[in-house]
Amino acid sequence: VIHSAATHRSRAEQKSHTRQALLDAALDLLRDRGLSGLGLREVTRAAGITPAAFYRHFPGIPELGVALVEQSLGQLRTAARAVRAGLTGGDAVIAESMRLLWSETRAHPDTLRFIARERHGGVAPVRTAIAGELRRFADELAEDLRDGTVETAGYLAAWPAEDVRMATMLIVDHMVRTVAALLDVLGDPDAEAEAVALATAQLRLIEHGCRAWPAAS
């Protein structure tokens, strides 16, 4: 009787539903601690399934962590790219990228706290997955800057690829730091605005550095 609604779903739909329930339950449990301290049984209990059923979805907790990384950072990457695609001016790109980070942090604090924390956390496969997603983030940004999607950054097309990578990695690290700073003050609108203003000025400083870079190096 309890599963009457579920019987109308296809098996694949139900499986994907349970998988998402496991991801959501894990995120909820991880609010104040690290993934290395998370037990499989507490996740299945919170998701309302048996421990044995967990293995239909993930081989273990580390793989569940990797799935959380791919889901959250994959979405953010796509959204960041969409923001850049519609704009041409450097200041507008900075302002709109910051606005995106702010709204995403407000909308998904638990997910982004998980990323900020596990980037240096105790679970190696999750650290590797986060590093990989952030590298992809930097690569896509480098592409957009070099191919003229962001018009005012066209001068970067003349840079050696490794210099572009150096700059975009700095920007991506700054992005992660900005999310973490926002998480620290979430719920205090003035402090949030202050953190965004500080991060925006820092990103503009980095942009100034980029413009001054080729001439001086």
Binding site for a copy of itself (CB under 8 A): 31-34, 36-37, 113, 116-117, 119-122, 127, 131, 163, 166-167, 169-170, 173-174, 177, 180, 183-184, 198, 201-202, 204-213, 216-217
From the CB of 17, what's the least distance to a copy of itself, in Å? 29
For a copy of itself, the closer of residues 48 and 122 by Cβ is 122
For a copy of itself, the closer of residues 50 and 202 by Cβ is 202
The dihedrals phi and psi of 8, each to the nearest 5 degrees, come to: -80, -15
Q: Are 66 and 129 in contact (CB under 8 A)?
A: yes
For a copy of itself, the closer of residues 25 and 195 by Cβ is 195
The closest of 46, 178, 75, 199 to 136, measured between CA atoms, is 75
The closest of 69, 173, 67 to 113, measured between CA atoms, is 69
From the CB of 193, what's the least distance to a copy of itself, in Å? 14
From the CB of 213, what's the least distance to a copy of itself, in Å? 6
Q: Are 176 and 186 in contact (CB under 8 A)?
A: no
From the CB of 175, what's the least distance to a copy of itself, in Å? 11
For a copy of itself, the closer of residues 8 and 120 by Cβ is 120
Measured in whole angstroms, how far is the alpha carbon of residue 209 from the centre of its chain?
A: 25
Q: Are 181 and 195 in contact (CB under 8 A)?
A: yes
For a copy of itself, the closer of residues 57 and 129 by Cβ is 129
Burial of 24 (0-12, 13-18, 19+ CB in 10 A): middle
Please give the structure tokens belonging to residue 54.
Answer: 């967990």
For a copy of itself, the closer of residues 65 and 121 by Cβ is 121
From the CB of 217, what's the least distance to a copy of itself, in Å? 8
From the CB of 70, what's the least distance to a copy of itself, in Å? 19
The dihedrals phi and psi of 185, each to the nearest 5 degrees, come to: -120, 10
